Amino acid sequence: MEDLFGQFGLDSKESELFLELVRLGSCPVSRWAKQAKVNRSSMYVVLERFKKLGLVTSFTHLGVTYIQAVAMAELPARLADRQIEMERVRNNLIKNLPLLQKLEKTNGLVPKVSFYEGKSRVEMMYENVLKEKSFRAFFNPEKMKKMMPKYYDKIPEVMRLNKGRVKELLVRCNEAIEYKRLYSSESHEIKILGEGVVFSSDTIITDQKIFMVGYSDSEVVGTEIWNEELAKTQVEIFEMVWGNLGK
């Protein structure tokens, strides 16, 4: 149950303290601290954090301040509010990302390897892909449509609008046939691999970068490698496979 409160940004210890307050009901901070075996001054720090997260309320009775956890029935709404705020912050970050990346490059802080864990982080990586003028890709459309459906269509559509060039080798599946029918063009070349050639990850290759996306049944992770020589090697491998396939 403690994992539930990780969605509010609580670590395992903070989750335990919150659940202890839920069990106690309205009480002074001193009682909460004693019951949880936490130093009273430390508990006030935790209390302020919980207040900022909207997880507790307080009131005064006979000169004594009491605190209590919000009603459990309110938590879904509180979480929805938090998610809306996080989405607003995320969209604002994506909007300002070009400026931040320009500053990063100016100061020589561009990382050679970046890791992206979880769908929201991988979405940020895909936004980096969309800044490229061209790419080649080993692509499993079935996995992507299941795990990252927004970018199944967004990537080819944005590349078309930006007049980018794309070459993709697709794992054979129903989604591959659909994808090729929808997006194959002179500037977006698509070939479907033979039966039995299956992989559960994608590799996107640009002139200087390699983007890799790995899928499990419920999660997705990404890796961005900035190395021109490695990218050239991957391009050669891609073109070798491409040249050995028919249309």
pLDDT at 178: 95
**Whole-number Å distance between alpha carbons of 67 and 233:** 61
Q: Which ranges in the chain belong to alpha helices (H)?
A: 12-24, 29-36, 40-52, 75-106, 119-129, 141-147, 149-161, 174-183, 228-243
- pLDDT at residue 60, as a whole number: 87
Q: How far apart are CA 245 and CA 237, in angstroms?
A: 13
CB contact at 8 A, 183 and 193: no
Is pLDDT above 80 for 135? yes
Written as six digits, the tokens of 105 are: 């490059």
Could you read off the pLDDT of 186-243 as tens digits, one per residue?
999 999 998 888 887 899 999 999 999 998 888 899 999 998 889 999 999 999 999 9
Q: Would you say residue 108 has pLDDT above 60?
A: no
Taking the mean position of all CA atoms in its chain, how far away is CA 100? 18
d(CA 99, CA 3): 36
Q: CA-to-CA distance for 92 and 84, rounded, in angstroms?
A: 12
Bridge partners of 224, per DSSP, are: 114, 211
Q: Indicate whether 166 pLDDT > 60.
A: yes
Q: Which amino acid is at 187?
A: S
**3-state SS class at 122:** helix
Q: What is the pLDDT of residue 63?
A: 87
Least Cα distance to 144 among 126, 131, 164 occurs for: 126
Q: What is the mean pLDDT of residues 148-164?
A: 94
Percent of the chain with pLDDT over 90: 57
What pLDDT was estimated at residue 210? 95
193 DSSP 8-state letter:
P
Higher pLDDT, 63 or 185: 185
**pLDDT at residue 196 in the model:** 83
Q: Tell me, what's the pLDDT at 3?
A: 62
Q: Is the pLDDT of residue 87 over 90?
A: no
Residue 146's CB is within 10 A of a number of other CB atoms, namely: 14
User: Is the pLDDT at 7 greater than 80, yes or no?
Assistant: no
